[in-house]
Copies of this chain bind each other. A is one copy, B any other.
């Protein structure tokens, strides 16, 4: 049996085509219109795990979308790796900005991906990265090199808050028992410089509704005489940041862990070019909290962003109306030690308290999750670093990511084990955006690197 490198070379076309088939199913968990597709995707994942060599695979019902669970047990005395991933994807809109349809995957070469990248919603986040683990298992089973037991838990609600996953994990602690949790749902610095995400931000996501008059009004007859819910919502949102872009919610920063000067110096070593960053986004300047640099603002600092806003007349032309209601979706990224439920309460209390007379305000919590930090002295981190070093030729750099995988904190709490975030995507892969893509190089490199993690993890575990 050939080694992983040649195995990947030999089967890469099939690996790519299998992923493309999976990407064709529009598993958008946020929109009920796609519910059957989400369920079909679960079935497809189940079949892929069976083919790859799991002894046992099942689709587990939950209050929401099902969770695909699979396992292969070699020897109960050996350690167990739990692989987590998600088969649901973000909504594709705005559709008109996609250069090819989001659910008709195509391979295109880009400057960063000269070997080509698969363009499709979910190609990187997370179908592509999840499927690397399925193909890595296939290799280890075929080549009889699987050094330990493995469990898969692939969910369908990651993009909408993993509600059913927490429900499932709380009820299946024995079944999910493991020695380390392995996730590929993050990125790395570049195709030349691997990195391991050691920190994640938490999340609190809410929707707010501001109601003024009980019906839409003519802005000529009523303009200036009643509170306009849109103007009021704008004022309330604006007041959530001060002139230094600090968040003004009382108590918001109380539990924020301030990093030491040393830690910040360590972070600053990660390669970063502000000019390229601005150029890539067509920005004349960056923007953010005073006293912190870009790489700190999006990783070690909590933030508050409006993710959507709507109200009044948004059609073609002009309508002189004062809307009865205005809405916004607002999310806060949190750092370790900030409790997302507490922050949600602080936000709600504050937002309701700043509503002026003339309007009523409703805050509806959507979902959330805690922040998380992985110690770099854990054997899981070391095994991952050795694996990257072998396949990329350079050691990985530990980085704090601004993103959130709320369930990582849940795993630590419920399953008492550490999570290793082996990401193979790039920031430029446009996840959550039109034209999301995943490099062929990254996909295959992931399949190649993962078996080495198993190898080194078991070695270090036995010591």
Q: Does A216 contact B284, Cβ atoms closer than 8 Å?
A: no
Which residues of chain B come closer than 8 Å to A366, judged between CB atoms?
A: 317-318
Q: Does B234 contact A307, Cβ atoms closer than 8 Å?
A: no
Q: Does A308 contact B312, Cβ atoms closer than 8 Å?
A: yes
Which residues of chain B come closer than 8 Å to A281, judged between CB atoms?
A: 213-215, 217, 226
Among A18-26, A141-149, A296-304, the stretch in contact with B? A296-304
Number of residues on chain A facing chain B (CB within 8 A): 102
Q: Does B298 contact A308, Cβ atoms closer than 8 Å?
A: no
Which of B205, B284, B435 is A318 in contact with, Cβ under 8 Å?
Answer: B205
Q: Does B226 contact A237, Cβ atoms closer than 8 Å?
A: no
Q: Does B283 contact A234, Cβ atoms closer than 8 Å?
A: no
Which of B97, B216, B367 is A215 in contact with, Cβ under 8 Å?
Answer: B97
Q: Does A403 contact B97, Cβ atoms closer than 8 Å?
A: no
Which of B30, B219, B241, B319 is A317 in contact with, Cβ under 8 Å?
Answer: B30
Q: Does A433 contact B309, Cβ atoms closer than 8 Å?
A: no
Q: A309-B312, A320-B307 are in contact. Are A212 and B283 (CB under 8 A)?
A: yes
Closest partner residue, chain B, to A404 (CB atom): B220
CA distance A222 to B215 in the complex (A): 38
A313-335 interface bits toward B, Cβ cutoff 8 Å, 1 = contact, 0 = none = 11111111111001111010100
Closest partner residue, chain B, to A294 (CB atom): B225
Q: Does B220 contact A203, Cβ atoms closer than 8 Å?
A: yes
CA distance A298 to B314 in the complex (A): 24
CA distance A360 to B287 in the complex (A): 13
Q: A216-B432, A289-B224, A313-B93 are in contact. Are A318 and B30 (CB under 8 A)?
A: yes
Task: Pick 17 A–B contacts, CB within 8 A, sort by A.
Answer: A30-B317, A31-B316, A218-B403, A218-B431, A224-B289, A224-B402, A225-B288, A225-B402, A230-B307, A231-B241, A307-B319, A307-B323, A308-B319, A308-B323, A309-B312, A318-B329, A320-B404
